[in-house]
Amino acid sequence: MMRCPNCNSKDIGKIGSHQFYCWGCFIELTVNGEKMSVFQVEEDGTLSSLDDLFFEEQPFPQIQAN
């Protein structure tokens, strides 16, 4: 079962073939294979990406020279 990455709610509705909506915190989720994108729905209906808040790129490991 899918859980919201923001509020951990299971109250997720399907709104498209790969699109979901969280009724707990009102964000839209897009799932494509293993990749998930998170969006805030703005007042005018446009979507603003929240991926930078939820999915940080993993930094390259630090290599220490001896």
pLDDT tens-place string over residues 17-32: 999 999 999 999 999 8
pLDDT, position 56: 63
pLDDT, position 60: 47
Do 45 and 14 touch, CB atoms closer than 8 A? Answer: no
* φ/ψ (deg, to 5) at 14: -90, 125
